[in-house]
Amino acid sequence: MSTPSDLAPGGLELIRRFVNTAELPDGPDELRSLETARAWCLSHGLAPVKNEEHLALLGAFREALRALLFANNGAGDPHDAWAALGPFLASTRLSLAVNSDRGLELRPEDKGPIASLLAMVYESQLLGTWQRLRACRKPTCRFAYYDRTKNASRAWCSMASCGNQAKAQRRRQREKQLPA
C-alpha cells in the first residue's frame, strides 16, 4: 500500500503506479489478463493493450522499468538496466513535438502504454526527478515509491516492513560473524 508521501510528481506517478501493478512476490497483478490490463490502461488514460503478445511485452517492460528503479536505489546495475530497456524502443513511435507552453517535448505517436511511459521517463530525466523514483531495496519486494527525503536516502518502501526486516537480518549476520 502507498502512503501520500510515496506519490511521485507529475507524469512520474503513472510510472510508479504502472510498476506497482504487480505487488511482489505474490500479490495481485493488474496485468494478469487482457481484460484487467485493458481496464488498467483505460483508467490511466492509455490506449488499451491490443493482444496477448502486446500484454506479454507490457509485462516485460514493467519489469525492465522496475530494474531501473532498483538501480536508482543503488541496488542493481544501472548499465544492465538501461541496456535492457533498448529493445522496447523498437515497438514504439515517439517524435519531437512543440508544446507552446513548455517548448520541445517527446510525444508518443499513439497513446500506446509503452511509448507514453517512455516519454515520461525521458521527461523526468530532464526535470531531475527520475533518480528519486525507486524500487524498495528488499529484492523480494521492490515496490516503487518516490523518495522525498532531503538527502535522497530512503532505501525501503516502508521502514516498518522491509526496513526493519533488513536491519534485523544484518544484525543476525553480524552476530554470527562475532567470535564465540
Instruction: Report the residue count for the chain.
Output: 180
CA angle 6, 9, 12 (to 5 degrees): 90
Asked if 19 interacts with Zn ion (CB under 5 A), we say no
Asked if 41 interacts with Zn ion (CB under 5 A), we say no
Asked if 162 interacts with Zn ion (CB under 5 A), we say yes
Asked if 141 interacts with Zn ion (CB under 5 A), we say yes
Q: Which three cell numbers mark 22?
A: 504487480
Contact window for Zn ion (CB under 5 A) among 3-11, 77-85, 115-123, 140-148: 140-148
Asked if 157 interacts with Zn ion (CB under 5 A), we say yes
From residue 118 to residue 137, the character string flagging contacts with Zn ion as x (rule: CB under 5 A) and all else as - is ------------------x-
Collapse the DSSP code of 133 into the 3-class scheme (helix H, G, I; strand E, B; otherwise coil) and give the result: strand
Collapse the DSSP code of 108 into the 3-class scheme (helix H, G, I; strand E, B; otherwise coil) and give the result: strand
In the bound complex, what is the minimum distance in angstroms from residue 71's beta carbon to Zn ion?
16
Question: What CA–CA distance (Å, rounded) separates 154 from 131?
Answer: 12
Q: Closer CB to Zn ion, residue 95 or residue 140?
A: 140
Asked if 138 interacts with Zn ion (CB under 5 A), we say yes
With beta carbons less than 8 A apart as the criterion, state whether 131 and 81 touch: no
Phi, psi of 65 (to 5 degrees): -65, -40
Asked if 22 interacts with Zn ion (CB under 5 A), we say no
